């Protein structure tokens, strides 16, 4: 079977990457076969068996029929018209919604699970719930950001000791949300105690740093003077005395370094500078941002296009890192621990997907993803702000964690270790060929470790500084597993966007316009203001993809009489799209 339609060709060749699962890819191909083969079940079955999607499951019994028979039946029921019907040349009346085929879905992100706010204990969970109400945002945004705040506060101070290995406590988190959905406001409220703590420490250190700098300048001037005297001395004895005095001053300078400004949280920064700050601050650091600019830095924005990814990779796993730059000299860290808490627009996710090194070297697999639903257009003016009492309790909780010094190990209770072991075994099954995570083996392999890290953070969200020395409970690990399940479903959506063809990205933007504005029909030029596309060359492939999936069809154009340009093509919209809203 051959066809000039790109989507059908990919399905025919066994590529179902544009769909959430192979089962949905099977249904999509069968829907096309129903149209082209006149809803002939036997012909459809024969054709499907020749396609790249055919597998043993096709003949497995599902109730009274096989999986293949059920799929074909459903495709035929959803096919209101076939190619043969159109070839008859008869003018068809405008069909009712029931006569339109069921549109073949994209990855429907509106069906993704909601963030389990109840899994975050104590005031941190209360703060997330309050911000969801006050800012009227998807819970995945504050839920992910509060985990990033906990990771900043305590993640670099702990290691989670499992029966199999040891995990650091820091996380990389990426929330994806359209512009205009209060990402900056949510980040500002949740990161506020970190910024306040950092400023208080910097203010307290400012006079100490000033005094130390003054002392260093005096010592340096004395050293410069002695060196000049030693260089000018003709008497060997005098010169040796001066040299000895210089050595004493050098030792004094080395023993009295200028303290560094405490910096735990940064935003707009180069990776070279980030490494230096982490070296100066007990090998810890955090980037919490409502923008995705750090990916441009990682991708080599200031390095002639050469990716600068080593620090980001090693600061997630705690591997030894070193740098020998002329500008800053030699630097090294034994166990760097970085937190990344980013809230970005979907275009940033697409940009990540276009850089093969991010996936190839494991950067993409280190993030936990939250695909957040936009609330814009459905928000009310009467939103209640977060109470001052809750805000104060939250600030005190995060401050108490920031004040913890040293490095600490956390261990799981036997019951907690057992449920983590079960989670690990379940994830391992999902990595097998044909299972849900077969195309995300790199990400899925890191998921159990990420869940252990989340459990450690929830342990401190519940116990505060008293969590030091306590065993991580069954409840903390169970809640971490629930959150891990949330991130699993959202990772599948995120990686789907990263590898999505450009024409499908445009199709998704057009579909968003259709759901938002609900037109019965439209012309291509109507889409310019709604898709950020600049020409019909960009828009047409997206329209074609929607026609192939049953969302649109070409409207019949009036016959042309006389001179003049023909009327631009118009497209009718499947009314089932609107009915489902």
Q: What is the DSSP string of 61-111?
A: EETTEEHHHHHHHHHHHT----HHHHHT-PPPPPPPGGGSPPPPP---GGG
CB 144 within 8 A of CB 370: yes
CB 417 within 8 A of CB 164: no
Would you call 479 exposed, middle or buried from its count of C-beta atoms within 10 A (0-12, 13-18, 19+)? Answer: buried
**Among candidate residues 67, 102, 137, the one where a domain is terminated:** 102
Residue 222 falls inside a structural domain: no
Least confident residue range of 61-75, 143-157, 243-257, 308-322: 61-75
State the DSSP H helix or E strand holding residue 329, giving kind and residue range, or none if neither: strand 329-333
Residue 94 falls inside a structural domain: yes
Query: Which tokens sit at 273?
Result: 């500078």
Separation between Cα atoms, residue 572 and residue 43, nearest integer Å: 30
Instruction: Please state the domain count of the chain.
Output: 2
**Among candidate residues 85, 102, 119, the one where a domain is terminated:** 102
What confidence score (pLDDT) does residue 1 get? 37
What confidence score (pLDDT) does residue 3 get? 37
Q: What is the maximal distance between C-alpha atoms in the chain?
A: 116
Least confident residue range of 14-18, 95-99, 307-311, 425-429: 95-99
What confidence score (pLDDT) does residue 382 get? 64
Is the pLDDT at 581 greater than 60? The verdict is no
Residue that is written with structure tokens 């100490």 in the block? 208
**Residue-wise pLDDT tens digits, 159-184:** 999 999 999 999 999 999 988 889 99
- The average confidence (pLDDT) of the chain is 86
CB 316 within 8 A of CB 367: no
| Residue 272 or residue 138, greater confidence | 138
Residue that is written with structure tokens 């066994």 in the block? 14
What confidence score (pLDDT) does residue 558 get? 54
**Among candidate residues 52, 86, 102, the one where a domain is terminated:** 102
- pLDDT tier for residue 395 given thresholds of 50, 70 and 90: very high
Q: What is the DSSP string of 22-45?
A: HHHHHHHHHHHHHHHTTT-HHHHH
What confidence score (pLDDT) does residue 537 get? 86
Highest mean pLDDT among 159-173, 255-269, 355-369: 159-173
**Residue-wise pLDDT tens digits, 470-526:** 999 999 999 999 999 999 999 988 887 776 666 777 888 898 888 888 888 898 888
Please, what sign has the CA dihedral across residues 11, 17, 23, 27?
A: negative
Which among 408, 452, 457, 488 has a CA at the least distance from the CA of 165?
452
Residue 433 falls inside a structural domain: no
Residue 93 falls inside a structural domain: yes
Residue 67 falls inside a structural domain: yes
- Beta-carbon count within 10 A of 289 CB: 22
Separation between Cα atoms, residue 346 and residue 178, nearest integer Å: 6
Query: Which tokens sit at 249?
Result: 């001053």
Separation between Cα atoms, residue 6 and residue 522, nearest integer Å: 24
Residue 310 falls inside a structural domain: no
| Residue 541 or residue 19, greater confidence | 541
User: SS3 for 522?
Assistant: strand
Stretch 428-432: mean pLDDT: 93
Domain that holds residue 576: 502-581
CATH number for the domain harbouring residue 566:
1.10.10.10
CB 407 within 8 A of CB 157: yes
What confidence score (pLDDT) does residue 496 get? 77
Residue 546 falls inside a structural domain: yes
Separation between Cα atoms, residue 60 and residue 76, nearest integer Å: 20
Separation between Cα atoms, residue 22 and residue 14, nearest integer Å: 9
Name 17's Cβ contacts closer than 8 Å, sequence gap at least 6.
10, 439, 496, 499
What confidence score (pLDDT) does residue 299 get? 66
Burial of 173-191, coded b for 16+ CB within 10 Å and e otherwise, reads bbbbbeeebbbeebbebbb
Separation between Cα atoms, residue 369 and residue 173, nearest integer Å: 6
Separation between Cα atoms, residue 177 and residue 290, nearest integer Å: 10
Residue 113 falls inside a structural domain: no
Task: Report percent pLDDT > 70 for the chain.
Answer: 88
Least confident residue range of 53-67, 152-166, 242-256, 447-461: 53-67
């Amino acid at each position: 079977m051959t066809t000039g339609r790109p989507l059908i060709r990919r399905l025919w060749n066994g590529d179902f990457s544009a769909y959430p699962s192979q089962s949905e890819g099977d249904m999509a191909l069968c829907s096309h076969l129903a149209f082209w083969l006149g809803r002939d079940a036997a012909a459809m079955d024969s054709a499907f068996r020749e396609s790249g999607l055919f597998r043993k499951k096709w003949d497995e019994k599902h109730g009274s029929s096989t999986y293949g028979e059920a799929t074909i039946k459903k495709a035929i029921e959803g096919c209101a018209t076939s190619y043969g019907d159109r070839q008859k040349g008869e003018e068809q009346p405008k069909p009712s919604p029931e006569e339109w085929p069921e549109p073949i879905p994209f990855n429907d992100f509106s069906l993704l699970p909601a963030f389990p706010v109840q899994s975050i204990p104590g005031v941190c969970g209360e703060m997330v719930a309050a911000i969801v109400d006050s800012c009227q945002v998807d819970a995945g945004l504050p839920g992910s950001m509060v985990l990033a705040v906990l990771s900043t506060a305590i993640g670099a101070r702990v290691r989670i000791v499992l029966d199999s290995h040891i995990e650091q406590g820091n996380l990389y988190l990426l929330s994806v949300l359209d512009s205009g959905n209060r990402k900056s406001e949510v980040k500002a409220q949740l990161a506020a105690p970190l910024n306040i703590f950092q400023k208080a420490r910097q203010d307290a250190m400012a006079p100490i740093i000033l005094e130390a700098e003054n002392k260093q300048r005096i010592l340096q001037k004395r050293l410069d003077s002695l060196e000049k005297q030693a260089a000018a001395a003709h008497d060997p004895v005098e010169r040796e005395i001066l040299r000895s005095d210089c050595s004493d001053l050098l030792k004094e300078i080395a023993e009295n370094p200028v303290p560094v400004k405490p910096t735990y949280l940064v935003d707009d920064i180069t990776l070279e500078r980030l490494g230096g700050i982490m070296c100066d601050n007990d090998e810890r650091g955090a980037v919490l941002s409502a923008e995705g600019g750090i990916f441009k830095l990682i991708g080599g924005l200031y390095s002639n296009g050469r990716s600068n990814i080593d620090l980001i990779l090693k600061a997630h796993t705690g591997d030894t890192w070193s740098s020998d730059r002329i500008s800053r000299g030699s630097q090294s860290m034994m166990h760097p621990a970085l937190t990344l808490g980013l809230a970005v627009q979907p275009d940033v996710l697409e940009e990540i997907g276009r850089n093969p090194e991010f996936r190839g070297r494991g950067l993409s697999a280190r993030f936990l993803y939250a695909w957040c639903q936009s609330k814009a257009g459905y928000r009310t003016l009467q939103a209640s702000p977060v109470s001052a009492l809750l805000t104060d309790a939250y600030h005190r909780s995060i401050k108490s964690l920031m004040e913890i010094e040293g490095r600490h190990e956390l261990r799981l209770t036997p019951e907690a270790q057992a449920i983590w072991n079960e989670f690990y075994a379940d994830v391992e099954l999902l990595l097998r060929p044909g299972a849900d995570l077969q195309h995300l083996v790199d990400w899925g392999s890191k998921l159990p470790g990420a869940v252990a890290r989340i459990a450690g953070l929830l342990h401190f969200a519940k116990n505060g500084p008293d969590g030091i020395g306590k065993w991580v409970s069954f409840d903390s690990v169970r809640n971490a597993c629930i959150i891990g399940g949330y991130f699993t479903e959202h990772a599948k959506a995120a990686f789907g966007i990263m590898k999505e063809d450009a024409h499908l990205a445009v199709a998704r933007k057009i579909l968003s316009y259709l759901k938002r504005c609900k037109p019965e029909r439209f012309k291509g030029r109507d889409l310019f203001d709604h898709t950020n596309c600049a020409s019909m060359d960009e828009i047409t492939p997206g329209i074609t993809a929607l026609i192939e999936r049953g969302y649109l069809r070409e409207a019949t154009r009036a016959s042309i009489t006389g001179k003049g340009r023909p009327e631009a093509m118009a497209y009718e919209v499947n009314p089932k799209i609107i009915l489902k809203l």
